Amino acid sequence: MAQADENPPAVGDGLVRGAHWGLLAFIAGFGAYHLMNLVLTAALTGRFTGFDDAEEMPDLGPLLLLAFVPNLMLGLAPVLAARRWGSFRELGVLPNLRDIKIGLACGGFALLAGYLANLLLLPVFGTDLESGNPLAGLAQGVGDNPLWLALAALIVVLVAPVTEEVLIRGALWAGLTAHRIPQWAVLALTAAVFAQLHGEPSRTLALFVQGLAIGAARLLSGRTGSSVVAHAANNLPPALLLLGAS
């Protein structure tokens, strides 16, 4: 295991009003994410109803990108907090070769674990699990232009893993570790947050076990970069399948 995990920082390091900056950044990023979702929901509610003909519908492609604005809020708070009270080295986002190897292995395991969990849940939730793919609903409204869907898929594979991992296994993980929370508890807590963040009740168990696998990359390497790679690897096959079917 990496040196950073073997020798966590002293509790007094990086404290802001008694709490590690990573915990404050997590609260700020998590809150900004949900606030932005509420703002967008309020702004767009009712804007795209009442169209009798699909040809009368406006191009919904830009909305696919707008839907990811809240996701950017997740990574903004940790970056600003690290710049003010910590350091970007603590986040360890840029993966090295070892991070890539560990991340790909854990990402593959996350895919397998999620698939098996969904199989177990299928008798309980039935066809509700079919909508579990975060890209499944994005194909509607793009019409014959797959460009917007391709851009959205790229965001899911490249951008979302960075912003989510910077918040959960960057800031939150660092904050919990600085306060001497056992690593197994940090792994479980961050996996639970990961599952809740996606807001898919029927897939909560699958997302939790995937979160454990992605978090294992962070645990083994001691760096967020490996969990970014694992997260991206986990998101890649569903994105490719959707693009192939579009």
Q: 40-55, pLDDT tens digit by residue? A: 888 777 665 554 444 5
pLDDT digits (tens, 9 = 90+) for 81-115: 988 887 777 788 999 999 999 999 999 999 999 99
Tokens 């967008």 correspond to 40
Asked if 138 and 152 touch (Cβ cutoff 8 Å), the reply is yes
Determine phi and psi for 142, rounding to 5 degrees. -90, -10
Per-residue model confidence (pLDDT) at position 183: 96
In this prediction, the residues of the chain whose per-residue pLDDT falls under 70 are 1-13, 46-61, 64, 126-145, 242, 244-246
**Distance from chain centroid for Cα 233:** 12
Helix/strand/coil percentages in the chain, nearest 5: 75, 0, 20
- List all residues 6 or more positions away from 147 whose beta carbon is below 8 Å from its beta carbon: 61
Give the length of the chain.
246
Closest C-alpha among 197, 199, 67 to residue 142:
67
Read off the tokens for 191.
């996996």
- Give pTM, 2 decimals: 0.84
What pLDDT, on a 0 to 100 scale, did the predictor assign at position 132?
A: 45
Give the model's pLDDT for residue 126.
Answer: 66
What does the domain layout of the chain look like in residue ranges? 21-44+60-245
Give the separation between CA 155 and CA 8, rounded to whole angstroms: 33
- Determine contact, residues 122/114, Cβ cutoff 8 Å: no
In which residue are the tokens 């890539």 written? 100
Nearest to 130 by CA among 113, 141, 144, 118: 118
